[in-house]
Amino acid sequence: MDFNGISRRVFLKWLALANIFFLVSNNKTSYGQKILRDSAHDSVNEGTLARSRVLRIHGSKVIPNANFVSDPYLDSIRDDKLEEMLGEGVKEFTQQKNLKTAWLDILTNYKKGDKVAIKPNFNFLNHGYKFTITSPQLINSVVKQLIETVGISPQEIFLYDLCKKIPNDIVRNRISYPINYVERMDSKTIVDKIRLRLYYGLASADLDAEIKMRESIIDKNGSPIKCYIPKVVTQAQHLINMPLLTNHIFIANSGSLKNHYGTVRFSNFHSYPGVLHGGVLDKAIVEINSNDHIKNKTRIIIADGLFGVYDRGDSNEGGKKKPWRTFNNDLPRSIFMSKDPVAIDSVMASIIIKERKAHKLNILSTEYLRDAMDSRLGIHEISERDIKFTNIQYSTLSL
């Protein structure tokens, strides 16, 4: 037996040493379960069936010119205007005049030393700047306010997407603080092989946090797959979801609910959630977000709608940065906030459906949103004609 030139004897020695270290250092069971108990009453879903609020913050100057998007496109964003949008939005959303008070209102029962996990949508990072991701500048604005306004240590903030590597040039160099990055683990090296199989590190599955699925999850060979919440989430007390305003090739939008496909870990150690597509897609989205570690710890959803995507997968031009007809032939230049993942996804789906209809593109399913409301995750309502809602309190703050 040989692994990249390493003998079987050496490999077994490394495996034994790693296992000893893992058993000594790993206290995931008691720690993760304690955090879950402490978070049990802090859910964004308290009063879920009451009127839900979604706030859109529109910044007319955050991107100077809709007809000229620089390459790389992220350089088009004005950091100062984006930070203003976030700060004013947080205060408006919480109805607080003081930014620190507003953030503490969001971070329910925050205590010094608590850990905050942030989940962006980095699904297309491997394509460089070709497609839209959650803007690192928006992440940086959130991180800055958590550190400088709330007083959270950078060492207690964890930015993660477990389907992708997080590169320096696109992301890390645009984050001004020494936060933690938790990214995809590969099985290409002997070290990663050991880490994966020993469930070592924050990117690995927490075996005490299995996601219960209504339908069996199987791989292409028909073998059953178990799904888990990763340790980066189970060890955190607070979760901030940062999805995109974007359509999806199988469902109406890929918003806050679908964003957690980049959270799930699998018993077959695969990084990409291919087994969660196909016929199980709608129900899997709901089951993932029904897990207590996500449902009870999510404090706020801050969605990036600066550029937005309405035609991903529809043509060779699909997914490129371009003006929207329904935004007066301009970019959306927006961020969205809510504590209700179903309500914010319903609003963003309505916006996307309206734009797709303007281009005579097909309209895909919102069944997962109806299922999510039936599962008491939030309020679902579609209103693509005028983006006005009866049960969702939707408003716009223009800056």
Q: For the chain, what is the domain count?
A: 1
Residue-level pLDDT, tens digit, the chain, 399 residues: 443 444 555 444 455 444 544 443 444 444 455 556 555 544 444 444 445 999 999 999 999 876 666 678 899 999 999 999 999 999 999 999 999 999 999 999 999 999 999 999 998 887 778 888 999 999 999 999 999 999 999 999 999 999 999 999 999 999 999 999 999 987 677 887 788 888 889 999 999 999 999 999 999 889 999 999 999 999 999 999 999 999 998 889 999 999 999 999 999 988 889 999 988 988 999 999 999 999 999 999 999 999 999 998 887 767 778 899 999 999 999 999 999 999 999 999 999 999 999 999 999 899 999 999 999 999 999 998 889 999 999 999 999
Phi-psi region of 105 (alpha: psi -120 to 50; beta: other; left: phi over 0): alpha
Rounded to an integer, what distance in angstroms lies between the CA atom of residue 15 and that of residue 137?
A: 40
Has residue 284 been placed in a domain? yes
Has residue 2 been placed in a domain? no
Has residue 3 been placed in a domain? no
Residues 347/336, Cβ–Cβ less than 8 Å: yes
Structural domain including 95 reads 27-398
Has residue 375 been placed in a domain? yes
Residue 45 phi, psi dihedral angles, 5° rounding = -95, 5
Has residue 380 been placed in a domain? yes
- Burial grade of 259 (CB within 10 A; 0-12, 13-18, 19 or more): buried
Has residue 8 been placed in a domain? no
* Whether the model pTM is above 0.85: yes
SS3 103: helix
Residue 119 CA, chain-centre distance (Å), reads 4
* C-alpha separations of 220 from 35, 87, 249, 274 in Å: 36, 46, 21, 10
Has residue 268 been placed in a domain? yes
Query: Residue 351: which H helix or E strand, with range?
Result: helix 341-358
What DSSP assignment string belongs to 248-273?
-SSBS---TTGGGGGT-EETT--SS-
Has residue 16 been placed in a domain? no
